Amino acid sequence: MQEIINLVNTEGEIIGSMEKLEAHEKGLLHEAFSIFIFNKNKELLLQRRALTKYHSGGLWTNTCCSHPRKGEDLNMAIHRRMIEEMGFDISSLRKVYSFTYNVALDKGLIEHEYDHVLVGDYINEIIKPNPEEVCDYKWVSIEWLKKNSETNPQNYTEWIKIIIKDENFLKALST
């Protein structure tokens, strides 16, 4: 069965649903989320997407990213995907902001998302990435990530390159 996701308007209000791949083929605006988990040293847990992912395979990105399914609450989706992708859940996440972006991806797909950005604190959880989702992970500073993504943009997903430069995101990290 193909995953059905929420189509949204520019305000993030659900206006319909569609199979995930079809939404990316047509470039229709849909709901997504991007989770950034930091350790006590203020380092971000990055994941490298599995090479077999339907887009952006092998690229480094934030800790967890996905879409709520049709009829699924955003909060439920976030916790489901943390477990599915990274093998652990996070008890406390805070929403930083939401934004819309529209970029061309590999394989002729289009990422047109209303993306909820969330941050949380890592508390000694055992990281057990699902190899169908994640092929590697590492902890990095935001400063290192910003420099490295500018020097080697081909190694990173489009959304992480946008988010780590966003003033709303950077402001939230300093609070």
Active site residues: 65, 113
Backbone φ and ψ for 9, nearest 5 degrees, come out as: -90, -175
Assess contact for 165 and 158: CB atoms under 8 A.
Answer: no
* Rounded to 5°, angle at Cα 130 from 126 and 134: 100
Backbone φ and ψ for 22, nearest 5 degrees, come out as: -60, -40
Across the chain, where does the E strand assignment appear? 4-8, 14-19, 30-38, 43-49, 60-61, 64-66, 93-104, 110-121, 134-141
How many angstroms separate the CA atoms of 115 and 99, rounded?
5
